[in-house]
Structure 1
């Protein structure tokens, strides 16, 4: 019987957002085909980690949490080296900056391992631009494959890394479409949990609150709506505040000064599928994005979406077909788009229907897992 391929996935943390969530869910999708183990470098949210740990265990994936502290860590590198010696992976699969750094060092020390890095956005160590980029480029000379979650991301990678063209691949992000279409949700109960008025049009934003996510832009846009439109709308921002607590505090002060504004800030939810199933609109006012999983989830849930035309969002939304696109940092444009969706029920339903169809055709876990399986097998 041929030996099963062993894949070691390295993510920054066990978290229900972004590259971390993507890496964990991809590992679970591949676990029926390969022997997969997963390493989480640091701690972010203990309750989220507990949820993901249970799901990984159910999928037969052994998970290691290294509890890395901020900054470079020789101890973390030694821990990873021991895991590699024990597991002997054929493929080392990393996701985003920290995991790429340690994965690159491991790959250089283990030439038989095939190193695959999935890039989730175009930023590489933005706080350490002068030092970070040269180190990053040096490490990536060892990469066997670089996967971009969007065409935009891989176009940037081709200009950045000195690798042969055949090393670059595009595999679009994916979500569990079935889960978001058939969430076991009592919509009325979910809406009551979020204090949504009975007849309100409920719009949600999902993502850790930081200046990049543009929640402040959404608040300014909502302030500019007509009074009749504001009274119809209820907006909830769901996300963590650990990235920039000061930004979240500024948002709270703004809302305290506007007590009649229909906007609330809520912590991360462990049941986003039920929230999206109960909502009517999805808002993504980001100043910067890669290919945001939260937007794909909203599309899968069949929500009319309005988003900024940044990053690879334009690869997901065709303006006026399966969502509305607005320029970033423009409260006026976002206000106009929200006004259209609040006042035009037919448009809202048409965008929602087209969003579901697009998600079913382009963003399923099955499609993504097949592409990664083909890539890993081709590297052997």
Structure 2
């Protein structure tokens, strides 16, 4: 909504196309629309669960409905900005723009088909690459601007998709820092807060690797510590069942009401950022800026050569360990538990200062706005 509000505040007319809200899985969503928002909820298929075939059809269905909507429009749009699921929905939308003679800007949030191929056996990955890579090349070559979320992603796509540098723009995914900066925790401590609190806050899905967090915390064997998983998602029930294997460990699952992320994170000592191998190669998850704005130390279990690891090192805001390793997570947790309180506070302060310099809404929204207005 940040982009919508900024564009309309400058007098631009904006039409939003989106599917019906369905995530996180398990939430109840109303059919209402925010006041003064020109949005059309398309009747496309949606799949909040983890089934890959259903997710594939979700992308195809949304893209097809967007294609029909754009083609049926009585007047050409000055610009179509798409921040949609890869690859099929993007292809349908770009095709509608090409056929209608309208400029388009595609915002790439993840590298497909590579992200999918990395999860498959090598022989199947090669087949999938042959089938899907031409679709991605079509999308990126026919779009007028390719917006990426990191310098590493830009370099990779330039090399593998043969894109000219002048066609690409880097816009780092931002967080609205104001709720975090303005939040003031209550003075009294809540039950359980005498323990060192390790917290994961975000979507409880398959990519997060929360099962490895649980195993690592159990191996650490810290009596005066607790692990909090805050959030919802398609894998939450499975992780709750997994945590029951360790009855001697203080592992808690919290709901996060809308607008309460700063409050939830204020109750942590250390924020956890686990990612599967390859998942953070060229992107920075939105959780990291949120953690940094909360001024909390970060324990990240991810690839050491990723953009996310690079940001944590540059900020000097915590500890990095290898991904998908309960042993490494346990060792890192024990090391943090032995650190003085001043060290945790220093990491938290460093992270907030870095986030204010790089991840704010005002800084990155301005770059995106200028890119779109100059293209229209």
Superposed, 1:148-227 pairs within 5 Å as 148-183=148-183, 186=186, 197-226=192-221
Distance 1:201 1:123 in 2: 39
Q: 1:75 to 1:373 in 2, by over 3 A?
A: closer
Larger mean Cα displacement after TM superposition, 133-142 or 177-186 = 177-186
Q: 1:66 to 1:183 in 2, by over 3 A?
A: farther
Q: 1:147 to 1:51 in 2, by over 3 A?
A: farther
TM-score, normalised to structure 2, is 0.80
Q: 1:298 to 1:115 in 2, by over 3 A?
A: same
Q: CA deviation at 1:304?
A: 0.7
Query: Where does residue 117 of structure 1 map in the other structure?
Result: 106
Query: Where does residue 16 of structure 1 map in the other structure?
Result: none
Q: 1:169 to 1:241 in 2, by over 3 A?
A: same
Q: 1:292 to 1:26 in 2, by over 3 A?
A: farther
Q: CA deviation at 1:329?
A: 1.4
Q: CA deviation at 1:146?
A: 0.8
Query: Where does residue 343 of structure 1 map in the other structure?
Result: 338
Query: Where does residue 324 of structure 1 map in the other structure?
Result: 319
Distance 1:133 1:104 in 2: 16
1:65-94 Cα distance to aligned partner (Å, 9 max, x none): 1141151338614543267x2574322111
Q: CA deviation at 1:298?
A: 0.8
Query: Where does residue 44 of structure 2 map in the other structure?
Result: 68
Distance 2:129 2:32 in 1: 32
1:198-221 Cα distance to aligned partner (Å, 9 max, x none): 312222212323342111111121
Q: 1:168 to 1:49 in 2, by over 3 A?
A: farther
Q: CA deviation at 1:291?
A: 1.3
Q: 1:272 to 1:48 in 2, by over 3 A?
A: farther
Unaligned runs of 5+ in 2: 46-53, 118-127
Q: 1:313 to 1:78 in 2, by over 3 A?
A: closer
Q: 2:9 aligned to 32, 35, 46, which one?
A: 32
Q: CA deviation at 1:235?
A: 1.7
Distance 2:248 2:216 in 1: 14
Distance 2:256 2:75 in 1: 34
Q: SS at the partner of 1:133?
A: helix
Q: CA deviation at 1:126?
A: 2.3
Q: Does 1:295 align with 2:288?
A: yes
Query: Where does residue 254 of structure 1 map in the other structure?
Result: 242
Q: Does 1:143 align with 2:131?
A: no
Q: 1:349 to 1:220 in 2, by over 3 A?
A: same
Q: 2:261 aligned to 253, 272, 277, which one?
A: 272
8 Å CA contact 1:181–1:277 kept in 2: the answer is: no
Q: 1:231 to 1:35 in 2, by over 3 A?
A: farther
Larger mean Cα displacement after TM superposition, 212-221 or 133-142 = 133-142
Q: CA deviation at 1:320?
A: 7.8
Q: SS at the partner of 1:141?
A: helix
Q: SS at the partner of 1:264?
A: strand
8 Å CA contact 2:199–2:268 kept in 1: the answer is: yes
